[in-house]
Amino acid sequence: MAELKGAGGAPVSIAAVEKRFGSVAALQGVSLDAGAGEFLSLLGPSGSGKTTLLMMIAGFEIPDRGTIAIGGRDVTELPANQRNVGMVFQRYALFPHMTVAENIGFPLRMRGLARSEMSSRVEDALKLVRLDGYGTRLPSQLSGGQQQRVALARAVVFRPPVLLMDEPLAALDKKLRQAMQLEVRHLQRELGLTVLYVTHDQEEALTMSDRIAVLNDGRIEQIGRPEELYEMPASAFVADFIGETNFLSGDVVGLDARECRVLLDGDGLVTGRVAADGLAAGTGARLAVRPDRVRLGNAEGIEGTIAERIYSGAMLMLAVRIGETTTIMARGPSNGPDADRSVGDRVRVSWKPEDARVYPAAAER
């Protein structure tokens, strides 16, 4: 394992990158920096541009405009085989006719390493991913999680400073995916690699990342630590995409530099923090509040009726109907203070103003 620790991570810098495929703008002026040894996730829905950006860093696509640098070296026009980055794909891309050891050693063979050096590095890589003793097996003799470990070992065996991962865990079942998330994060920290990780799974990104870049329609909506994106989403899109969110529509009836008061369409006056420019008295607004920040009581807040009760083991979700058209979801521990509430109960719904964020109604592109 010690032999694989030598490379460390390298910074990656993307500056004003643009890419079109015919009439489709896949990336529009994207700029971001990943620090050496950082785990940066590229998160977004299908078609947001995240995989195109990763393919450009790898060298499989060339930007129409902008530059890409790895370790301070401009690699914008360099072919993929000269960028010295590791790559892990969703479908593993293992050679079915090669043994595990031959698959892992393939990039070393392509680089002309001596047989003894190859053997030593492959053995170290197998230990790193906890597959010692599996070198003589074929990929078809391995489980999905084991095949993904082989793909990881192959990607890091030549000591790349940057590891690119394109939805590598998407094909695994939930329990195995969660276990592999921890393994990938542990491997990244062990080797000190810079990792750029593409996913559409917001829970996966929150769990694994030092920072997350949220992409939408070829642009970056927000970059920040997982806590920042969850607690302080810069747009309604980010609030909706990261975690679960209640969105309540209404009109602004008052605001100052910090807080905005909104009269809901379904009746009721609520307050939240100003989260974006464009709010003014009399204009439409969307208030976002997480279900886990919603409080139910009998003394203060908006009056409503519990319309649905969803038990999921450790957590309990209650849907509260406000007026004719508005439903607010509240989530808490299943053994918490709301455990005895039932469908049909009348309750009052509230939250702390700092736990809600208000956006202009027309803020989305």
pLDDT digits over 242-283, tens only?
989 999 999 999 999 899 999 998 678 999 999 988 899 999
How large is the average pLDDT for residues 164-177?
A: 88
pLDDT band at 7 (very low <50, low <70, confident <90, very high): low
pLDDT of residue 3: 52
pLDDT of residue 128: 87
pLDDT of residue 116: 86
pLDDT of residue 337: 92
pLDDT in tens, 10-48: 999 999 999 999 999 999 999 999 999 999 999 999 999
pLDDT of residue 266: 66
pLDDT of residue 68: 98
- The 3-class SS string of the chain reads CHHHHCCCCCCEEEEEEEEEECCEEEEEEEEEEECCCCEEEEECCCCCCHHHHHHHHHCCCCCCEEEEEECCEECCCCCHHHCCEEEECCCCCCCCCCCHHHHHHHHHHHCCCCHHHHHHHHHHHHHHCCCCCCCCCCHHHCCHHHHHHHHHHHHHCCCCCEEEEECCCCCCCHHHHHHHHHHHHHHHHHHCCEEEEEECCHHHHHHHCCEEEEEECCEEEEEECHHHHHHCCCCHHHHHHCCCCEEEEEEEEEECCCEEEEEECCCCEEEEEECCCCCCCCCEEEEEECHHHCEEECCCCEEEEEEEEEECCCEEEEEEEECCCEEEEEEEECCCCCCCCCCCCEEEEECCHHHEEEEECCCCC
Query: Does residue 183 carry a pLDDT above 90?
Result: no
Give the strand pairing for 302-311 and 295-297.
unpaired
Which of 118-122, 188-192, 223-227 is modeled with the greatest confidence? 223-227
Token pair 């993904």: residue:
148
First to last CA, the chain: 48
Query: Does residue 180 carry a pLDDT above 90?
Result: no
pLDDT band at 1 (very low <50, low <70, confident <90, very high): very low
pLDDT of residue 90: 78
Query: Does residue 65 carry a pLDDT above 50?
Result: yes
Query: Does residue 220 carry a pLDDT above 90?
Result: yes
Structure tokens at 129: 């991913």
Q: How high does pLDDT run on average in the chain? A: 92
Cβ density class 278-312: b for 16+ within 10 Å, e for less: ebeeeebbbbbbbbebbbbeeeebbebebeeeeee
Contact between 14 and 30 under an 8 Å Cβ cutoff? The reply is yes
pLDDT band at 365 (very low <50, low <70, confident <90, very high): very low
How large is the average pLDDT for residues 306-329?
A: 93
Q: What is the pTM of this model?
A: 0.89
How large is the average pLDDT for residues 80-96?
A: 88
Query: Does residue 363 carry a pLDDT above 70?
Result: no
Which of 12-16, 298-302, 336-340 is modeled with the greatest confidence? 12-16
Structural domains in the chain, sorted by start:
2-236 (3.40.50.300), 244-360 (2.40.50.140)
pLDDT of residue 4: 55
Which of the two residues, 21 and 6, has the higher pLDDT score? 21
pLDDT in tens, 277-289: 889 999 999 999 9
